Amino acid sequence: QRNVCLMMLREALALTAMFFVIHISIAKTITQQKKVHSQTYSIRPEQELVALGACNFLGSCFQCFPNATSLSRTCVVASTGGLTQLHQISNALVLVFTLSFMTPLLYALPNAVLAAVVLFGVYGMLDFKECIRLAKIG
Protein backbone atom coordinates (compact mmCIF):
# COMPACT_ATOMS: atom_id res chain seq x y z
CA GLN A 1 0.00 0.00 0.00
CA ARG A 2 2.76 2.42 0.96
CA ASN A 3 4.81 1.61 -2.15
CA VAL A 4 1.83 2.35 -4.39
CA CYS A 5 1.29 5.73 -2.70
CA LEU A 6 4.96 6.64 -3.09
CA MET A 7 4.91 5.61 -6.73
CA MET A 8 1.79 7.70 -7.37
CA LEU A 9 3.31 10.68 -5.57
CA ARG A 10 6.45 10.45 -7.71
CA GLU A 11 4.40 10.30 -10.90
CA ALA A 12 2.17 13.18 -9.76
CA LEU A 13 5.19 15.38 -9.03
CA ALA A 14 6.68 14.60 -12.44
CA LEU A 15 3.41 15.47 -14.19
CA THR A 16 3.08 18.65 -12.15
CA ALA A 17 6.57 19.77 -13.12
CA MET A 18 5.93 18.97 -16.78
CA PHE A 19 2.57 20.82 -16.86
CA PHE A 20 4.13 23.83 -15.14
CA VAL A 21 7.06 24.01 -17.57
CA ILE A 22 4.69 23.76 -20.54
CA HIS A 23 2.42 26.43 -19.03
CA ILE A 24 5.29 28.88 -18.46
CA SER A 25 6.82 28.26 -21.89
CA ILE A 26 3.50 28.94 -23.64
CA ALA A 27 2.96 32.05 -21.52
CA LYS A 28 6.45 33.34 -22.36
CA THR A 29 5.90 32.65 -26.06
CA ILE A 30 2.66 34.65 -26.05
CA THR A 31 4.37 37.39 -24.04
CA GLN A 32 7.15 37.65 -26.64
CA GLN A 33 4.57 37.91 -29.42
CA LYS A 34 2.70 40.65 -27.57
CA LYS A 35 5.94 42.62 -27.12
CA VAL A 36 6.26 42.69 -30.89
CA HIS A 37 2.83 44.35 -31.03
CA SER A 38 3.94 47.06 -28.53
CA GLN A 39 2.11 45.56 -25.56
CA THR A 40 4.13 44.60 -22.51
CA TYR A 41 3.26 41.73 -20.22
CA SER A 42 5.26 40.09 -17.51
CA ILE A 43 5.09 36.49 -16.36
CA ARG A 44 5.42 35.77 -12.66
CA PRO A 45 6.02 32.01 -12.37
CA GLU A 46 5.29 31.91 -8.62
CA GLN A 47 1.87 33.50 -9.21
CA GLU A 48 1.17 31.08 -12.06
CA LEU A 49 2.14 28.14 -9.85
CA VAL A 50 -0.21 29.29 -7.08
CA ALA A 51 -3.05 29.79 -9.57
CA LEU A 52 -2.58 26.36 -11.16
CA GLY A 53 -2.29 24.74 -7.73
CA ALA A 54 -5.47 26.42 -6.47
CA CYS A 55 -7.39 25.40 -9.61
CA ASN A 56 -6.25 21.81 -9.38
CA PHE A 57 -6.85 21.62 -5.62
CA LEU A 58 -10.40 22.96 -5.91
CA GLY A 59 -11.03 20.79 -8.95
CA SER A 60 -9.95 17.68 -7.06
CA CYS A 61 -12.70 18.36 -4.52
CA PHE A 62 -15.25 17.94 -7.32
CA GLN A 63 -13.53 15.03 -9.14
CA CYS A 64 -12.43 17.23 -12.06
CA PHE A 65 -9.63 16.41 -14.43
CA PRO A 66 -6.31 18.13 -13.72
CA ASN A 67 -6.00 21.58 -15.22
CA ALA A 68 -3.24 22.12 -17.76
CA THR A 69 -2.46 24.64 -20.47
CA SER A 70 -3.77 23.99 -23.96
CA LEU A 71 -1.59 25.25 -26.79
CA SER A 72 -4.42 25.32 -29.33
CA ARG A 73 -6.81 27.29 -27.08
CA THR A 74 -4.03 29.69 -26.11
CA CYS A 75 -3.26 30.32 -29.79
CA VAL A 76 -6.91 31.02 -30.54
CA VAL A 77 -7.22 33.46 -27.64
CA ALA A 78 -3.95 35.21 -28.55
CA SER A 79 -4.81 35.49 -32.23
CA THR A 80 -8.26 36.96 -31.53
CA GLY A 81 -6.93 39.44 -28.99
CA GLY A 82 -8.69 38.08 -25.91
CA LEU A 83 -7.42 39.74 -22.75
CA THR A 84 -10.02 39.07 -20.05
CA GLN A 85 -11.90 36.15 -18.52
CA LEU A 86 -15.01 37.24 -20.45
CA HIS A 87 -13.30 35.86 -23.53
CA GLN A 88 -12.99 32.47 -21.82
CA ILE A 89 -16.69 32.51 -20.90
CA SER A 90 -17.65 33.20 -24.51
CA ASN A 91 -15.34 30.37 -25.63
CA ALA A 92 -17.00 28.02 -23.14
CA LEU A 93 -20.48 28.97 -24.39
CA VAL A 94 -19.47 28.35 -28.01
CA LEU A 95 -17.97 25.00 -26.99
CA VAL A 96 -21.15 23.95 -25.13
CA PHE A 97 -23.29 24.99 -28.11
CA THR A 98 -21.05 23.09 -30.52
CA LEU A 99 -21.01 19.93 -28.42
CA SER A 100 -24.76 20.09 -27.79
CA PHE A 101 -26.10 20.85 -31.24
CA MET A 102 -23.40 20.45 -33.88
CA THR A 103 -21.83 17.12 -32.93
CA PRO A 104 -23.78 15.15 -35.58
CA LEU A 105 -22.48 17.54 -38.26
CA LEU A 106 -18.88 17.24 -37.10
CA TYR A 107 -18.94 13.49 -36.48
CA ALA A 108 -17.94 12.51 -40.03
CA LEU A 109 -15.25 15.19 -40.29
CA PRO A 110 -11.90 13.55 -41.08
CA ASN A 111 -9.11 13.86 -38.53
CA ALA A 112 -6.96 15.57 -41.16
CA VAL A 113 -9.38 18.50 -41.23
CA LEU A 114 -9.30 18.78 -37.45
CA ALA A 115 -5.49 18.65 -37.54
CA ALA A 116 -5.45 21.41 -40.15
CA VAL A 117 -7.55 23.62 -37.87
CA VAL A 118 -5.11 23.10 -34.99
CA LEU A 119 -2.07 23.67 -37.22
CA PHE A 120 -3.60 26.87 -38.58
CA GLY A 121 -3.96 28.13 -35.01
CA VAL A 122 -0.41 27.13 -34.09
CA TYR A 123 1.09 28.58 -37.28
CA GLY A 124 1.11 32.10 -35.83
CA MET A 125 3.25 30.98 -32.91
CA LEU A 126 5.99 29.44 -35.03
CA ASP A 127 9.16 31.42 -35.57
CA PHE A 128 10.72 29.97 -38.70
CA LYS A 129 13.80 32.20 -38.54
CA GLU A 130 14.56 30.86 -35.07
CA CYS A 131 14.07 27.27 -36.28
CA ILE A 132 16.53 27.83 -39.13
CA ARG A 133 19.03 29.46 -36.76
CA LEU A 134 18.78 26.53 -34.33
CA ALA A 135 19.13 24.02 -37.17
CA LYS A 136 22.38 25.68 -38.25
CA ILE A 137 23.72 25.52 -34.68
CA GLY A 138 22.80 21.87 -34.11
**Model pLDDT for residues 119-136, shown as the tens digit of each residue:** 887 776 677 788 888 889
Confidence of residue 35 (pLDDT cuts 50, 70, 90): low
> For 41-98, how does the pLDDT look when each residue is reduced to its tens digit (9 = 90+)?
778 899 999 999 999 899 999 998 888 888 777 877 777 777 777 888 888 898 899 8
Strand (E) or helix (H) holding 8: helix 2-36
CB-based burial of residue 75 (10 Å sphere; 0-12 exposed, 13-18 middle, 19+ buried)? buried
